[in-house]
Structures are given as C-alpha cells and as structure tokens.
Amino acid sequence: MNKRLPLKCPSCENLLQVKQLYCENCNTEVTGLYSLPVISRLSTEDQKFILDFVKASGSLKIMAQNMKLSYPTVRNLLDEIINDINNLDTDEE
Amino acid sequence: MKSSNLYNPFTKIAGFKSFIIGLTGLLITSYLAFLTGTHFNGLLNIDFAKDADYWVFLTENLSNWLLMSIFMYASGLMLSKSKIRIVDILGTTLLSRIPLVIAPLFRILPVFQSFVFQSWEMYFIIGFYLVSLIWTIILFFNAFKISCNLKNEKLIVSFIVSILLSEICTKLILKIVI
Amino acid sequence: MKSISLIVGICILFCLNSFSQDLRKLGDSEVDKSKVKIAQDFATNYLTKSKNGEAYKFKDEAIDAVKNQFTEESQKNVYQQVKNQVGDFKSLKYAETWVQGSNKSFQIIRFMGDFEKSNKNLEIRVVLNESGKIVGFFIKPWSDMLN
C-alpha cells in the first residue's frame, strides 16, 4: 500500500515538523525537531514533475514530449512550482 | 488539467506545429475570401465585396493576425514573469483564426453569393460570422493565457487592450496599404 | 449560458429583418442584353469623355430629370471627385442585373469599374425604367450586398 507523507496538521492545518526518526535495521530512535525539506512539502504531482524534469536533463522540450503537452503549458507548470517553492522559502524565513 | 480541444487546444499544441497548421488555415481562408469576396477588414469586421485581387484578401488576414500577435507579445513581455517564445504567440494566434473560415465557406453556396441588404441571407451569413468570431475570440483568449502565462486581472485587461489596439491599427494600416 | 445568449442574439437579428426589399437578381438567361448595352454605352462614354476633359451629350437615352440634373458642370464635378479618390477611369465590365418588383419595372444594372489608383473595384450602377431609359447613375464602392 502506498502511503502519503502528511504535510499539514489534521487538527489546525499548520505545517507539520519531524519529531522522531527510526532506524529499521538497529531499532535506533532519533528525537528532535526538524523541518520537512521544501521539496517534500510540495504536492505529489509537483514532486513527480520535478523528478521527471531532472530525469529529462532539465529540458522542457523533452518534458513536453513525454507529458504530451505543449511547451508553454509545461513551462507554465514549472513556473507555478517555482512560485510555490519561493513561497515556501519565504514562509520558512 | 482540463482542456477542451475546441476552445483550448493550446495545452496540447503550440509553437511551430500550431504555426504551420494555422498558416495553412490562413491561406485557405484568404483564398476562400477572395473567391467569395469576403473582406476581413478589421480584427472584428467583415464586409462583402468581390472587388479586388487575391493579395488584398491575404493582406487583410495577415495584418489582422500579425498586429494581434504583436500586441499580445508586448503585453506578455511587460506583464508576465515567464519566458515567452514568439513562436508560441504567432502559432497560437494563427490557429485561433481558423474558425473564421466558416463565413467565406458558406458564401460559396449560390444563395449567399450576392444578396440584398437586410435580407435573411445577410442575417444568416452574419449569424455564422458571429458564431465563428466568438469562437475565435475564446481561442485568442486561451492562446494569450497559455502563451504568456498571465492570470486574473492582468490577463483580462491586457487582452481587452490588445484587441482594441489591434482593431484600430489594422484599420489604419489597411487604409494605407490597400 | 454563453450558447443560450448567442442563440438569443441570432434570433433578435432575424426579428430585425422587417425591411427586406422586393429585389431579385436576374439569371443570365433572363438578362435583356439590349438594356445592358444601353447602360454600358452610357457609363463607358460618360467616363471616357470626362477623362478626356469633354462633356457627355445626352440624346434620348435618359429621362428629362436625369438630363437636367446631370449637366456638363455636374458631370465634371462628379468625375473630379471620383478622380481625386481613385484616379482616372480605366475600364468597366458587366457584373449583374437586379430587378425591383415582379414585373421587372426597374432594372438595376451593375458594372465593376477599374480605376487607376484603387486596388479595389468600384461599382458603376445604371438604373433603367421599363422603357429602357436611364433614371439613375451611381459610382460607389463595390458591395456584394445590393443596398
């Protein structure tokens, strides 16, 4: 079963932070307070887009061919993700 | 991503491909316009007169397309944060004009070739033209939105301004050239 | 919503159609060629003479009202106005004939005129009454719609 990493608090909608990490190999638990990386705070579709973009060597043309969309449409999607990332960076600061 | 191919084919097709298809459409429309005497002597205008050579009809269609593209491109450069490609603007605006072939196509029928002012034939042809014009404007809007990546008020205001400026400039230029 | 508005708009346009005239275009076989010749000769002669600085002299091809109105002076003025806008007359060719009324009482004979400065044809219209006399003469931009 594919589980999605929750990003927002189900109670108050605030951004969740990582409190505990667990090692499956030796049962070690690490407790602290860590922010989720920016990329993991994006939607699943946006994360997939970024991965595909890197795999396409950063070529919007190849992305457009793979996604069967027009070049400006793919460019607009990328610009939206850039905008979201900038907003997340600003929120963090 | 929602897209209807009839009103917004630009999520799937833009750039050079749309340029080639659109240009073919423009040449066919111009030729049919010449055969039937249908003048597109403004971005939003139509007139009926079998009175000129083919190059006049071609010039009208080319001016309508190029001026709209120029104003859209200028708006995009000023208002958009994205990198805009001129080939996207040229191609998508060309493709948007394809529905305008409807009126000259109907004028091939003998009953619509010459008619009396304010007759049912005239209203029929104007009706067809209005349908094709509304369709074209919707396509222009979506072409502008996708090619320039503009949203909300910026998109709406700059679109209206581009249409108005194109209409005025097309009429001026056609008056000088033709 | 949008499509409904459009349909309503087109219906309104149809409803406005209360001014259609009883005009009909004649088929090629119905056209009276002798009347076309009268109209063509008049239009060609008037325009050619005016181009050469001469006045057209009427015989009996027009009604008196036309002869009285289209004097030498007004002939010159009309041609000068045309020349200023579209240049000198070159040629004309017959286009079509329309009739008003079912008994073909008036015939509207339309020619396409070619002038020096214009890239577009002008309409040269000659109107004849049932006796074949000229009752009207117009030069205007060509339109496929007879108005």
CATH number of the domain within which A44 lies: 1.10.10
Instruction: State the SS3 of chain A.
Output: CCCCCCCECCCCCCECEEEEEECCCCCCEEEEEEECCCHHHCCHHHHHHHHHHHHCCCCHHHHHHHHCCCHHHHHHHHHHHHHHHHHHHHHHC
Question: Does residue A7 lie in a domain region?
Answer: no
For residue C20, pLDDT beyond 60: no
Instruction: Tell if the CB–CB gap between B52 and C17 is shorter than 8 Å.
Output: no
Q: Give the tens place of pLDDT for each residue, C89-129.
A: 999 999 999 998 666 678 999 999 999 988 888 999 999 99
Q: Is C9 on the interface with B (CB under 8 A)?
A: yes
Query: Which pLDDT score, from 0 to 100, does residue C9 have?
Result: 56
Query: Which pLDDT score, from 0 to 100, does residue C2 have?
Result: 56
Burial of C94 (0-12, 13-18, 19+ CB in 10 A): middle
pLDDT (mean) for C5-34 = 69
Question: Does residue A53 lie in a domain region?
Answer: yes
Candidates A63, A67, A71: best to mutate against B (most CBs of B within 10 A) is A71
Is the four-CA dihedral C70, C72, C75, C77 of positive or negative sign? Answer: negative
Orientation of helix C2-15 relative to helix B120-148, angle to 10°: 150
For residue C4, pLDDT beyond 60: no
Q: Which domain holds residue A71?
A: 37-92
- Between CA A72 and CA A64 the distance in angstroms is 9
Query: Which pLDDT score, from 0 to 100, does residue C147 have?
Result: 78
More confident residue, A7 or A75: A75
For residue B62, pLDDT beyond 80: yes
Query: Which pLDDT score, from 0 to 100, does residue B78 have?
Result: 96
Q: Give the tens place of pLDDT for each residue, B44-56.
A: 889 999 889 999 9
Class of domain C22-141: alpha beta
Over pLDDT 70: what percentage of chain B? 98
Query: Which pLDDT score, from 0 to 100, does residue C102 have?
Result: 65
For residue C142, the 8-state DSSP code is -
Instruction: From chain A, pick out residues whose CB is under 8 angstroms from the CB of B82.
Output: 75-76, 79
Boundaries of every domain in chain C: 22-141
Instruction: From chain B, pick out residues whose CB is under 8 angstroms from the CB of A45.
Output: none
Question: Does residue A78 lie in a domain region?
Answer: yes
Instruction: Tell if the CB–CB gap between C122 and B51 is shorter than 8 Å.
Output: yes
Q: Give the tens place of pLDDT for each residue, C48-83.
A: 999 999 999 999 999 999 999 999 999 999 999 999
Query: Which pLDDT score, from 0 to 100, does residue B133 have?
Result: 94
Q: Is the ipTM of this complex over 0.95?
A: no
Q: Is B37 helix (H, G, I), strand (E, B) or coil?
A: coil
Q: How far is C5 from chain B (nearest CA, A)?
A: 11
Orientation of helix A71-92 relative to helix A60-67, angle to 10°: 110
Query: Which pLDDT score, from 0 to 100, does residue A1 have?
Result: 75
pLDDT (mean) for B155-177 = 93
Q: Give the tens place of pLDDT for each residue, A5-56.
A: 888 889 998 888 899 999 999 999 999 998 888 888 898 899 999 999 999 9
Is the four-CA dihedral B141, B126, B174, B95 of positive or negative sign? Answer: positive
Query: Which pLDDT score, from 0 to 100, does residue C67 have?
Result: 93
pLDDT (mean) for C16-25 = 65
pLDDT (mean) for C3-8 = 54
Query: Which pLDDT score, from 0 to 100, does residue C18 have?
Result: 44
Q: How far is B12 from chain A (nearest CA, A)?
A: 4
- Between CA C76 and CA C53 the distance in angstroms is 8
More confident residue, A53 or A2: A53
For residue B41, pLDDT beyond 60: yes
What mean pLDDT is reported for chain B? 93
Q: How far is B20 from chain A (nearest CA, A)?
A: 15
Question: Does residue A72 lie in a domain region?
Answer: yes
- Between CA B59 and CA B66 the distance in angstroms is 10
Residue of B nearest to C26 (CA): B114
Instruction: Tell if the CB–CB gap between A69 and B1 is shorter than 8 Å.
Output: yes
Interface of C with B in 40-99 (CB under 8 A): 96
Instruction: Tell if the CB–CB gap between B122 and C145 is shorter than 8 Å.
Output: yes
Residue B132 pLDDT class (50, 70, 90 cuts): very high
Number of domains comprising chain A:
1
